[in-house]
Structure formats: C-alpha cells, structure tokens
Structure 1
Amino acid sequence: MSHASPRPLEIAHTGPLAGRLTVPGDKSISHRALMLSALAVGESRIEGLLEGEDVLATAAAMRAMGADIVRGDDGIWTVNGVGVGGLLQPEQALDMGNSGTSTRLLMGLVSSHGITVTFTGDASLSARPMARVIEPLSTMGADITASPGGRLPLMVRGMNPAVPIRYTLPVASAQVKSAILLAGLNTPGITRVIEPVATRDHSERMLAGFGADLTVEETTEGRIISLAGEAELKPQQIVVPGDPSSAAFWVVAASIVPGSDIVVANVGLNPTRAGIFTALRLMGADITEENARTVGGEPVADLRVRHAALSAIEVPADLAPSMIDEYPVLFVAAACATGRTVARGAHELRVKESDRIAAMAAALGAIGVETEEFEDGLAIQGSGGAPLPGGGTIASLLDHRIAMSMTVAGLVSTRSVTIDDVSPVATSYPMFFQTLDELRKQAL
C-alpha cells in the first residue's frame, strides 16, 4: 500500500458553510468490527463501515489470515469468521499502509496464535514507535523482532498458549489496552489491564457485544478490565456511528466561519471520545445535540453547529484521552478565539502520524498565528475572531489530521493557504473535500 503521489491544495475563504452532512463511520469502531467479526464463528454484517485506507488495510490483513470479507453493492460488509484461535499463517507480509491502529491491534491479535506475521508500512508509519505494545505482548510470550527503535518492519511470532498478564498502562493508550485484550482472547486464564486514566472504551463495548466474558471494575488503581481467555465470539449485526474525529473538523469550521449553520448527522458521542465537543463548548461554541439515541451500544446524536464567538480557555488536561486526535483542529479553533488558549497534558501527540505538536506549531506559525510550544502541548494566541493572516505553505508530513485541520484554517484566512500534500486525507476521510464543496454550495 504505497503512498499516493503528492496532491497540493490551495484553500481560501469563500464564505459560510451550510447544510446537513454525514461523516464516515467511526474509524476506531470500524477496525474493531472487522477484527472481532473475523474471530467470530458465523456471518457478521457491518453497516456504515469507514472505507478509508486505514480500515481497508485491516480488512486486507484479516482476509490474509483466513476470514471471508466481502463488501456488498449496498455498502454492507459481510464477514465470515475463522473463530478465536483459527487465524491462518499469511502468505506474505501484512502492509499496514499508514495505520497505526491496525498495526498495534493486529500485533495483539496474532501474539496468542501459533503463526508468524511480518508487519510493514509506509514511511510515516515506519517512523512510529511500537515499543509500548511490544513490551506487554512479549511478556505474554510473543517473540517480536522489530527494526531499530522498536519500529516497522517487525515480525511477531505468536505464542500458543500465551500467558495471561496483569498489566498497568504506563501511558493512557486505548491501542495498547486493546492489543493486550485482543491477545487475551486466545490466552487461557484471565488477562487484566489496569487503566489509571480511562481511554476510549470501544474495545470493551464491542468485545462484550460479541459475547466475550469481560468485566470492568472501577477501583482506586483505576479501571480494571478483565477478560476470560479462549473466548467464543458470536457473529453480530453492527451499525457503525459517524466518527466524532471526522465530525470535529466541521464543528470547528462552522464555529469559526461567520454565518455558518450546519447539522452533522449520526455522530458517535461515546464519552471516552467526545472531549473535543466539551472543550469547544467551554470556549463558547454553539453546539446542540438533536435526536439523541443509542446505536449498537454507542450513544449517537445529530449535532447542529452555528457560528459563535470563541473565547480562550485552559484546556482541561483530563480531556486529553477523550480528544487526543482532535487537538490539531482544536488548535485552529484557538487561533480564532479571543485570548490565549493553553493546552497541556497531550504528550501522546508527539508519537502520532507526525509530531502533531511541532507540526501544528509550524503550520500555524506559517499563516501568522503566534504559538508557544511545550513538551506536552501548545499555547495559541487567538485573533479575537478576526480572519487569520494566511499566505503560508503548510507541510502536512503525511498526516491526514494536519492536512484537514489546516484546510479548516484556510477557510478563515485573508490570504490563501497552500498545503503541500492532502492525499493522506484518504486514509480516514475520502470524501472530505467533496463534502466541503457541498457545504459551500448550500450556503450560497
């Protein structure tokens, strides 16, 4: 899965955004739906699956290990699984493209199966550290050989039977937690993960939905998730809600572009993922939840967002786990607020598709926004609602969220903003730019 040819984009302010839109299916839930369906015995159906490159990498990997995965003409995916313990030896290396989620979760999945799997990825993914996953999976018995610095390409030789562990997460990470739990599915005994700081809980919700014996206990140590191994998963009918990370770009755009009024339909509002909307409301954003409901165990609503004057805040550090992927676009909102916004406690941003703290400091600086960089975040001096100067060229660094966030910044810039490469946007949101065009047209 080689990276596409660079696609530069020049974006300029052209007026308000209006209309109703849907966003792609939640990426975190889409990955997990494919993996667990592939481990169930029987046929599962998945509606609303995100069909970006990252999720397609997961689908290809599960096919390579024996699952029958087909997309119907109606957009519904059917998965006939191999059962827990039934993964087959893939004939060649699994190319994860740019997907860190696919890589880390699948490393967990194969660690307790008697197969050997090599993981490769693009240049961006190959620069990302995997040590935090390697350490607990090695403790469970997997033999993992990585490139220098704990990076890809790497090889996982699974251990069957693996050894159950009790593991306290040293850093809040839903991916590490999920990798251990997925390894625990085919491990005899009880695998326990302790979270001192709660992270997104899609894995726990979906594992329970597929019939795994899983319990969650709130203690003074934190959340203790316990999973009984050698599970038998039952096939499911899954409806994937809209991705809050994708919705965040439109929520911020409508908040900062004068005259905007949009509805983002069917947004997943799992409290472990919805921190961005909390932060924006603290800044004064006009976000109303309509038609609140529950879909597949996940809270969902339509979000109506209207332009509002934003004020700077000190972003509560305890929101970080529930909005870690949304900080880049929050920084754009802060650039348009009145006052100096400070966001700390987001160390995880340093090891995403890019170093998102440094990348956003450079990107905002290039369009005339004053920032101060910390090891764990940024301070941003807002424009008080005035247009941003713009005029710079932005390095997206193969990072889809940097590209989309700076596209939003271009919508409120006096001079056009040039982004060197927006092709990575296809990893999570293939229709992003078409949706932007529609929202502009509907406002005319």
Structure 2
Amino acid sequence: MTDDRKAIVPVWTLATGDVRVPAVAGDEPMTAERLAELRGVLAGLAAEPIATLELHPLPSKLDRSRGIPLDAASPLAQHLSQLITQSARSSSVAATATAAGDGLYRMVVPAKVAAQFGQGIVRPMAAKAVAGGIRSPLVNSTGGIVAGATFVPVGKAAAAGAVGGAGATAGVAVAGSAALTVAAPLVLMAVAVGVSANADHKRQQAIEHITELLEQLHEQKLDDEHSELDGCRDAIDKATAILLDQGKLGVSLGLDSAVHAINTALGAADRRLARWRSALDKLPDGKAVEIATLTKSFPGVDDHGGTFRAHLELAGLAIALKRRVIVLQAVEHAQTDTANLFKNFSRALKTDHQRLDELESGIARVLERLSALELARPQGLRPVFTNSEVDRLMRAANLIHKLGDDVVVNSRTTDVAIEIARNTDGSVVVFPALAA
C-alpha cells in the first residue's frame, strides 16, 4: 500500500469469534512496526483468529484489472459499509478518514492464522531488483508500503453485523478485553475473495505461458489438454460470483464437469511428476549428464519452448484452478453453518490444500535437482567441437540452471494481506492476496 504522506491511518482489530484478550492495543497512535508486533501478540493470545484492517487514501493510479470487482450490494461490500458507518459514530478518527467514502482498505491476517489456509496459497514474490525484497502491486518505487503513516486504533466500534444471513457471530468482544470488533463474515469474505483473486492471477500467468509454448510446439494432445482446462474458467467465474453474493450453486453451472477436468489434469501432473522423479533417480550420482540423455526424459528442457516446460505450465494451471475451486467449496461449507463460520472455512481450506501443496513441492524439488545437474560435453570421436556445439551446451546449461531460480520449497508462512479498493458508491475491488 502506497502512502508517502505523514497520514493518520485508522486501524481496526477484527476478531472472528467472541474472545477475551488483554488490552494490549490501547488508544495511543503507533508505528507500522508496533502494529506488526501487536498482530503477533493478538494472534498468540486469542483463541479465535484476529485480523487488522487499515484504511489508506486511494492511490490515484491503481490497476483494478488485477482484482475481482463486487458491487455495493455484495455481502463483502455491505459488511465493510456497515463497519464504516457504525465505527464512525464512535470514533472521530474513523469518521474523518471515511468521510469521502472511498479508500484502500488493507486487511492483514497473521501468519499463525494464514497457516490454516494451506502453505501454497500465498507465497512471497521475490523482487529481482532488490535482494530479499517482496513484490506487491501497490508498493512504491522504494518498496515502502506505509511510509510515514501513523496508525490510530479505532475504539469500541459496533460490529459489522449480519448482512444477508452471513454472520451470526457479530458483535463486540466481551467487556474488559481489547477493543476487538467481532466480524467473522467480513474477514471470511475478504480472505475468500483475495485468495480467489490470487489463484486467478496465477491462472492468467499460466495461460499466457502455455499459449506461447503451444504455438511453438504444435502438439495437438497438449493443446486439447490446455483447451479443456481453460474451458473450466467460465463455470468457476459464475460459481464465484454466485457464492460471493451468497447464492446457492446448482448443477446448471457446470462446476462438476469443470472439477472433473481439473482433477484429470492433476492426475496427469502426478503421473508426470512420478516419471520425472524416477528419471532423476536413475542418473549416476556425482557425474555429469549429457544433454541427449536428459532430453529423453525431459524433452525440451534445454530450450525456452518444449514439452517438459509445457507440462510444467499445465500443472501450474491445474493447481491454480483447483485452488480457486477449493475456496468456493470452503465458502459454501462455511455458509451452511454461520455459527461456526471462519473455523469451517479454514478447516476446509487446510484439508483440501494438502494434496496440492505436496504436488507443488514435488515439482519444485524436481526443478531444484535439474538446476543442480552438471552437463557433460557430448561423447564422440572428434577431440574438438564446433562453435555451434559449444554454444548449444552453454545455452542449455544456462537454461537448465535457471530452472531453480523461482522455486520455493517449504516456504515460511507469512502474514497475508488482502487489499480492497472501495469506491464512493460502496462497490469494491479485491486484489490478489499477497504476503504482507
């Protein structure tokens, strides 16, 4: 979130259940560092998940195409509007900050809670330009997220109550505790849309890569596999829109057939992964490998476009689509029991994501092993090689070693941030969830 001015930023602490914790927040202004510490303390002390919600000025330049738009009548927008209205009555800071009607709301879910969603949903995106940096769609050129801002806790605001039957667990935390607003529906919907947008962003990236690869390969079988997976998008988009508006999913959407196609693709990815592991296990330990030997099991690994790389992208597309479907299933499951809203949601996500995490980690380890291989020069009768042969060997070695550049294996779970742009008419755009 970009905010270079010395701004006063209101911050709400949102609980997903009726909890009692020591009044560690207080009413005094705090820095971004102090706010991060507070999140960790609340996550450790509270029996229910607790998130923080910050309100920043809406940036003048914002790429809304990356997010999922929801109109003012959607449950998420209504929960947010109700929180704004009722908190403005009891807090002059909140009233001043929300007077314009628009703004960029940034919900941060602590790492302890984010771990419940599955390890693979949100990972830090390494910034190439800055060592150890993390990319975000809303950071400024220096990488600052809330530079110069002072955070002011919003007092005992009334809760974002039940809208459309979504939240039986709404109210203010018990007397004597910290000023926590119980807003399980708001947190649930923000996390659900943010994670869904994150998965869809990965799908879009995979589609771009696959399209380019298949144009070079001209392989009908892979093209058909790609078309079948991409054809699932329409059913998933419709199901997302219906669930986020708290409708009921029906068979006419075609979601069942879409899930079947995705599961088929995941099964193919599992089989390919097993073959890749087996091929690597058969290579001699500590010895250089010829390119010809490697390309038998990994066709096209020595080139920018090849069957192996297409298989990688197809697996990534299937994983991204499945993650989005899992979010839909988790939301539907949670909404059937509003008295246990957030726990149902996080339980469904964690259980179903385990297989995807294992598949993704398995592929990552294959890429790591490939990138660490030493390539041998081709065996032949000639003692001297041509310039073209030397160039090919060097180019192949460079491409294969780069396979491990973007690999993340067993990444440490970080705080998850969901950024929501709110317009003056109450409609919102939810951006892909990212590592905070």
Shorter-chain TM-score range:
under 0.3
Q: Which structure has more strand as a fraction of its residues?
A: 1
Q: TM-score, normalised by structure 1?
A: 0.23
Q: Which structure has more helix as a fraction of its residues?
A: 2
Q: TM-score, normalised by structure 2?
A: 0.23
Identify the structure with bigger relative contact order (alpha carbons < 8 Å, sequence gap 6+). 2
For the pair shown, the structure with the greater C-alpha radius of gyration is 2
